[in-house]
Amino acid sequence: MPTVLADTFTDSLGRLAQDEQKQVKLTVFDLQTQPDRPGLQFHRIDNSKDPNFWSVRVSRDVRIIVHKTGASLLLAYVGHHDDAYRWAERRRIETHPKTGAMQIVEIRERVEEVTAKLPAQHAFDFGQPIAVPLSPAKVAGVPLFAKLDHDDLLSVGVPEDWIADVQAADDDGFLALANHLPAEAAEALLQYVSSGVLNRTAPPGPGASPLSHPDTLRRFRVVENVEELKAALEYPWEKWAVFLHPAQRDIVERSFSGPVRVAGSAGTGKTVVALHRAMHHLRQSPDSHVLLTTFSDPLASALKARLRVLAGTEPYLLERAAVTSFLGIAQELHQLSFGHRAHLASREIMRSLVEKARQAAGIDLSPQFVLSEWTNVADAWQIFDVDAYAAVPRMGRRIRLGARQRESPWPVFESVRRALSERRLMTPASLFAKLTANYAAKAEKPFSHIVVDEAQDLGVAELRFLAAIMTEGHDSIFFAGDLGQRIFQPPFSWRGLGIDVRGRSFTLRVNYRTSHQIRLAADRLLPESIRDVDGLEDDRTATASVFNGPPPEVLIAESEIEELEQVARFIRAAIAEGIEPSSVAIFVRSRNELPRARAAAVKAEVEATELTGRGDGELGRVAIATMHFAKGLEFRAVGVMACDEGVIPATQRIADVSDEMELDEVYATERQLLYVAATRARDWLLISGVAPGSEFLVDMKMPQ
């Protein structure tokens, strides 16, 4: 019998204890394989207005709420007895009369009040619930949706019995009300508030099944057999990896006439789209060979695990997929092409070689400038003569070198290359260039399609390399990234290298991972819009989060001891709220500040594990890491501590700056690094430092 899995079920399953989850899964497998087994105890929920709601006993206290219609069984919710029954008594499942989507709808008259969070003095106090009347007569302020009529609201999926409440809601009232609306309706209204545009849902065609509607597909999943069911239940990562938003699904499945870019701020599902795009290519053709790649090995490992989940009952498809970092696939192809892996020079070796060459040449240019010119110009662009050095685009570099000045550092670069050759060492850029030349001359390429996650951290050499190892075609390469999270590479023109995404660039606007309050605080670190070198603009103003939470706390402590006590209190409060310790993380700017993170965990009397990129966190342990390791991760509660003056922005990076424009770039990427760390938090966020604190903390504080 086909089983329909609702996202409310997977969400509630994740809130149960580990042993309870195991019991639930066993019962669900029995429902799938032996629905008529005598041991399964079905009980109709008499107080529910939906006659098709039943409970299924899992244990003495745990119940699954199912919706039985004909030959299908929908898993709607799971929880402890009283919680599960209350959930079912306050809901019904129906097909929306206007949009044709299947919805789980809260029953209006059963919801007497909507709870909202009080602004807490500290994020770790979590606030206390207060009653917000739903009666239109008691809603204060100007209605947000005064320009929308009854049909407008129906067209985005608002249930009939909630329309009056929506029409009467002001700003504060709607944020509380949104939690009680079907998700697609709440998201459409949030986007309307942000952008002034109402994205109506197209009405269904004659005879269309509610289960085939795009909004249904992102909330419900039909599983045909036990293998699919096991895959859906066994890996509880983000539920929106399975339940795609219609805008995401359209991008995943569409055919394009050239390179494609998907942008969006942190938490909008760019990685999810990239994963589904890779699976789409694998399923489309048995001849496809797909590379799914990103800038680091830890992120590549996470992508590989998630791709296995999406493959589900088709693991054989992954035989035609490679999931690895930019450098990882370069090393694999070097081994394949030349019989051995390349030996790469460390950053310390490169710094030493450049400085020795500079001193031997006796030039007046500063060590910082020469190292920067080598890293960002000569090596990045793989320049081998002084004329090419004079002609190369110098994006983000204000110092303009005349003819004689250009000749001055050139002997240094030649000396560095000789030293590398003598030591049989390569730089990552020279490795990418060697492979680019090798594969550019070959008709047969390793990959038919390439999907790039965290594409904002691609460098010049990496982009050229990726273009050389893929089959040329209209749909060959797909990028997902956010300019606001660029922390590794200086800007450059993609168009100048032949990668033009104009007309095929899309921005995701719905934030599923980060609460409204945390997103607003983090967004204060960045401009409202960020423009790349080619003129493409990422506008962040129309992004909407789909859930609320307590306001984040920005703390400037008088001493390290005070900060330590406050961070420890934050950790204890999060765990007391029911958050699993492994869903709590503490991030710091660099390894120099890691002892402060460890001390906070000790003070909170919890075990901690350091994330080093060699694996995920451990169950029962709080995660600690530097901000650079935060990329791609998610936690329910995050503390970003030791944000002191001189720590972020980092004094050493500022000391290495060679010109004013490079200083602007350092400040921008340091802001973006703090933004990355802050947006790892789903529900609770504490940002702290010791007085006077980082200048960035002032920007994050809520305006008075």
Secondary structure of residue 639 in the 3-state scheme: strand
Q: What is the pLDDT of residues 38-96, one digit of tens each?
A: 567 789 998 898 999 999 999 989 999 999 887 678 999 999 999 999 999 999 999 99
Q: How far apart are CA 67 and CA 53, in angstroms?
A: 5
Q: Is the pLDDT of residue 236 over 90?
A: no
Q: How far apart are CA 345 and CA 464, in angstroms?
A: 21
Residue 209 has a pLDDT of 85
Q: Is the pLDDT of residue 154 over 90?
A: yes
Give the residue from 525, 531, 490 showing the smallest Cα distance to 398: 490
Give the residue from 604, 559, 567, 605 showing the smallest Cα distance to 586: 567
91 burial type by CB count under 10 A (0-12 exposed, 13-18 middle, 19+ buried): buried
CB of 622 within 8 A of CB of 601?
yes
Chain centroid offset of residue 612 CA: 19
Q: Strand 53-57 to strand 42-44: parallel, antiparallel, or no bridges (unpaired)?
A: antiparallel
Strands (E), 110-256: 113-117, 129-133, 220-223
Q: How far apart are CA 635 and CA 80, in angstroms?
A: 24
Q: What is the CATH number of domain 550-700?
A: 3.40.50.300
544 burial type by CB count under 10 A (0-12 exposed, 13-18 middle, 19+ buried): buried
Residue 687 has a pLDDT of 96
Q: Is the pLDDT of residue 173 over 70?
A: yes
Domain ranges (residues) in the chain: 3-89, 112-195, 235-339+437-514, 354-425, 550-700
The Cα-based distances of 555 to 525, 639, 643 in angstroms read 16, 11, 10
Residue 111 has a pLDDT of 60
Q: How far apart are CA 1 and CA 30, in angstroms?
A: 11
- Report the mean per-residue pLDDT for the chain: 84
The Cα-based distances of 612 to 345, 493, 619, 635 in angstroms read 21, 32, 16, 16
Higher pLDDT, 130 or 207: 207
Residue 515 has a pLDDT of 86
Q: What is the pLDDT of residues 264-316, one digit of tens each?
A: 888 888 998 999 999 999 999 999 999 999 988 888 988 998 898 788 778 99
- Residue 554's DSSP bridge partners are 687
Helices (H) and strands (E) in the chain, counts: 26, 26
Which band of pLDDT confidence, cut at 50, 70 and 90, is reported for residue 514? confident
CB of 643 within 8 A of CB of 683?
no
Say whether 550-700 and 235-339+437-514 share the same fold. Answer: yes
Q: What is the CATH number of domain 3-89?
A: 3.30.2310.20
> Which two structure tokens, joined as six digits, stand for 327?
């450098």
> Which two structure tokens, joined as six digits, stand for 276?
């589904």
Query: Mean pLDDT: which of 115-124, 196-205, 365-374, 588-597 is highest?
Result: 588-597
What's at 293, amino acid-wise? T
Q: Treating both helix axes as pointing N-terminal to C-terminal, what angle do 410-422 and 347-361 enclose, rounded to 10 degrees?
A: 130
CATH 3.50.50.60 fits 235-339+437-514, yes or no: no
Give the residue from 513, 478, 457 showing the smallest Cα distance to 634: 513
